[in-house]
Structure formats: structure tokens, C-alpha cells
Amino acid sequence: MSKEVKDTVSVHKSVLLNEVIQGLHLSDKSVVVDGTFGGGGHSSEICKRYPKAKIIAIDQDKHAWVSAKSKFKGIKCDISFFNINFRDLENVLVKEKLATVDAVLFDLGLSSDQLENSGRGFSFLKDEPLLMTMKENPSPEDLTARDIVNTWSEENIADIIYGYGEERFSRRISKAIVESRKKNKFETTFDLVGVVEASVPKVAKRGRIHPATKTFQALRIAVNDELNTLDIGLKKGFEILRVGGRMAVVSFHSLEDRIVKRFYKAKEEAGEANLINKKPIAASEGELKENPRARSAKLRIIEKI
């Protein structure tokens, strides 16, 4: 690992921090699975408030722990970090010799660190290799955004952009991608941004969000199999909860929130859980001023019975 990577410090600011921790109903004896450690914001705050709690931190990005270490300086905390995808969280409990836990947290989407420092092409504002994988060191066999735009059919690319990005100009964009790659293969994020911007009508360029936002979201979700992973993670996370334990999920777009809402509703109807909040909790005006990224965040909490 290079010195540049080692010296990177987390700039991530966790959204709905107080609402999540209060909603999980923790104590000093709590065992908490932070399934999306990211910048370590939620875990470090739990450690501050409940210094005798046990934190099991999970992140697919190995660099997450390196960049977040500074947040734990001076904090007495029993925390274990595991570099895995949360869809495999049951393996962690075996290693920790635990049957159940008191709380499970999933803060979905990208951390600010991944956008700013990963170098893997998550941001359309930086010219980086077009990878979009959560893995710090992807193998040649791992799917990347570059693979999708350079080799997938026009129809499949359009389906991805529409289905995972809810992009109404998906057909235009996919057609432009396929035409462009005949001349030059896509290598970097700016290669893709330029094609997307040129393919959408002027009205789309005057909107509140960047015209490449939805396309980048769709490719990232496809590369990392995020929706299927979320479905698996919710099921496994609920399974390891003790009776009376709680699960909190922060989502950032409608596709994620729909999966969480459906899962929670099914557990409630089956008599296996109670909804702590009937409607999703959103960020306050004060938090939005400090962290605009929180504007799309929705928090849902469930308790196992």
C-alpha cells in the first residue's frame, strides 16, 4: 500500500447519526454489527456513548479501517474490523463465537471517502479509471463499469441505466455509449461523462442534479450487485438479531428504500417484528445545512419480537 493511501484521513460524515444510535436502543452491554463501516462515524459515536459495547465492523473496502482509525484515538472501544461484504456477515459471528447480536446497522450507498479518495471512478467530478467496484484491489475477474460500457449490448446497458438509475433518457445514453466505443474504448470517468452529457437533451442539463448522476448510480449498483446484496444482508442481519434487538437501515435512493420497506413490512405481517417508525426518518434542516448529502437519506428501524 502506498504512503499516499496510508496517510489518507476519513472525510466522511455519517448522516442521521443521533437518530440511528437513539433508534437502536443501545446500552453498555450491547453487541453491534456495523455492516457498512465506511468512515467509521456511527461506530466511533457508539463507542463514545457506550464505551463497554462491542462493535463488529464490516466493510468490503479494506482501506475503510485505515482511513477511519483517527476517529477512534483516545476512545476505549472493543471493536473488531472485518474486510468482507455484509452479505457474508454470518461468517463473522462464527469467528467472534457469537450466536446473536443486539443491533445491526446498514448505512447504504457510498461514503465521502470513496467518492473523494478511492481512485476507482465513483465520482463523475473526478477523472479516474472507470471501475466503480467497492473492492480496493479488484481482480481481473471482477466486473467493472468499464466492462459494462465496453462490452455489454445496447439493450442491456439501457436496461441497467433505466432499472437501477431510473434514468428516463436511458435509451439515448446507451445508444451513444455503443456508438462512441466503436471509435475509442471507455477508460476513465470523464470518457463516460462526456458521452452522457452529449446524449441527453438540454433540459436535462439544467436540472438539479448532474446529467451523469443516474447513469453512474446505475453502473455502481450493477457492478457491486448492490440490490441483491441488500436483500441478502437484511435477511441474514435479521436472523442474527436476538429477540428485542433492532436493525436500522439508512438508504439513499428509492430502489434501496423499497427493498427495506418491503422486508420490514413482511416481518411485521408475519408477527416477527415491530416497526419502530412507520414512516422513514429524514434529516433535519440543521443537518441538511451542515451536510447536503443527507437530503436523500431515509432511516427505517425494526425490532425483532
Residue 6's φ and ψ, nearest 5 degrees, are: -60, -35
Per the CB < 8 A criterion, the answer to whether 85 and 59 are in contact is no
How far apart (Å, rounded) are the C-alpha atoms in residues 231 and 104? 14
Instruction: Print the SS3 string covering 252-276.
Output: CCHHHHHHHHHHHHHHHHCCCEEEC
Binding site as annotated, residues for S-adenosyl-L-methionine: 40-42, 59, 86, 107, 114
Q: Which among 185, 203, 209 has a CA at the least distance from the CA of 195?
A: 185
Binding site as annotated, residues: 40-42, 59, 86, 107, 114
Distance of CA 48 to the CA centre of its chain: 24
How far apart (Å, rounded) are the C-alpha atoms in residues 130 and 181? 14
> Residue type for 273, please?
A
Would you say the C-alpha torsion 183, 185, 186, 190 has a positive or negative sign?
A: negative
Residue found under cell 460500457: 149
Per the CB < 8 A criterion, the answer to whether 32 and 54 are in contact is yes
3-state helix, strand, coil in the chain (%, to 5): 50, 15, 35
Instruction: List the strands of the sheet with 298-304, edge to edge.
Output: 78-82, 54-58, 31-34, 101-107, 241-251, 298-304, 273-275
